Amino acid sequence: MKKIIIAIDGPAASGKSTTAKLLARKIGYVHLDTGAMYRACALAAKRHQTNIDDPSQIMKIMSDIKIDIQYSNNGNLIFLDGEDVSEEIREPDISRLASAISAKRHVREKMVELQRELGKSGGVIVDGRDIGTVVFPNAELKFFMIAPLEIRAQRRYQELLANNKKANFQEVLRELKERDLADSSRVLAPLVPAKDAIQIDTGDLSIDEQVDLLYGYYQNLMVGS
Ligand code: DC
């Protein structure tokens, strides 16, 4: 059967990554979490104390950076210069820095190139902000996931607690709101739905329902092809 590219875009904590991971398992595809790649860039910048507003410093870290992805049943493992940083990139300060650094041209150019290389053979579900619009505009199936801010903040908050992280609901809410605004209002590859994306509101859906819904679209497409 033909192996296609499935793009899933949407704001932070809209359920993209979890849905992508489970859907990939169900179809037998790999899941590529592009947010994790920008997070790894942010961690590199933090470690090198890079001034991200200085293009020459950004160019320097982007020319030296080595990001590797390993696909596992439990999501992507991200390696920065050979070190597994999958946990460290989930810290709140890295979320903020990832959003800021992802607005920089050199960072996007390098990451988009890597993402295209990783997804070129198909059989992949790629989640992010600009997958259906910029990275894979010809993806056979595109989804744009949304959910009300309060619900997304509640999900992220519960996720932090479940991982034994300190969390304050109001802070989580504010951070998501700021990041959504930054990601959707930036000049380069802003968060906007592709014209041909199917919009999914996950506000009232369980994870299983989200996966089943997307799987239904996938099956319909494959039956028709
Ligand atoms: O999906 P995430 O929350 O882990 O992504 C972290 C940041 O990376 C997000 O705030 C914006 C950026 N990002 C992006 O600009 N383009 C993508 N395709 C994925 C993420």
pLDDT tens string for the chain (225 positions)?
Answer: 899 999 999 999 999 999 999 999 999 999 999 999 999 999 999 999 999 999 999 999 999 999 999 998 788 999 999 999 999 999 889 999 999 999 999 999 999 999 999 999 999 999 999 999 999 999 999 999 999 999 999 999 998 899 888 899 999 999 999 999 999 999 999 999 999 999 999 999 999 999 999 999 999 999 876
Determine the atom of ligand 1 nearest the C-alpha atom of 16.
1
Q: Is 76 a pocket residue for ligand 1 (Cβ < 6 Å)?
A: no
pLDDT on residue 225: 67
CB contact set of 99 (below 8 Å; sequence gap of 6+): 38, 179, 182, 183
Residues in the chain: 225
Bridge partner list, 127: 8, 33
Cα gap 76→218, rounded to integer Å:
22
Task: State which ligand 1 atom lies nearest to the alpha carbon of 131.
Answer: 18
Bridge partners of 76? 71
How wide is the angle at C-alpha 70 spanned by C-alphas 105 and 220, nearest 5°? 85
State in words which class domain 5-220 has: alpha beta
Nearest CA to ligand 1 atom 16: 129
Going by alpha carbons, the residue nearest to atom 9 of ligand 1 is 99
What pLDDT, on a 0 to 100 scale, did the predictor assign at position 50? 97
Distance CA 100, CA 41 (A): 11
Q: Give me the helices (H) in the chain, please.
A: 16-27, 34-47, 55-64, 92-101, 105-119, 149-162, 169-185, 207-224
Element (H, E) at 68: strand 67-72
Q: Is the CB of 128 under 6 A from ligand 1?
A: yes
What's the 183 CA to ligand 1 centre distance in angstroms? Answer: 8
Neighbours of 148 (CB within 10 A): 13
pLDDT of residue 33: 97
What pLDDT is stored for residue 31 in this prediction? 96
14 CB less than 6 Å from ligand 1?
no
Distance 35 CA to ligand 1 centre (A): 4
What are the sequence ranges of the domains in the chain?
Answer: 5-220
117 Cα: distance to centroid of ligand 1 (angstroms): 18
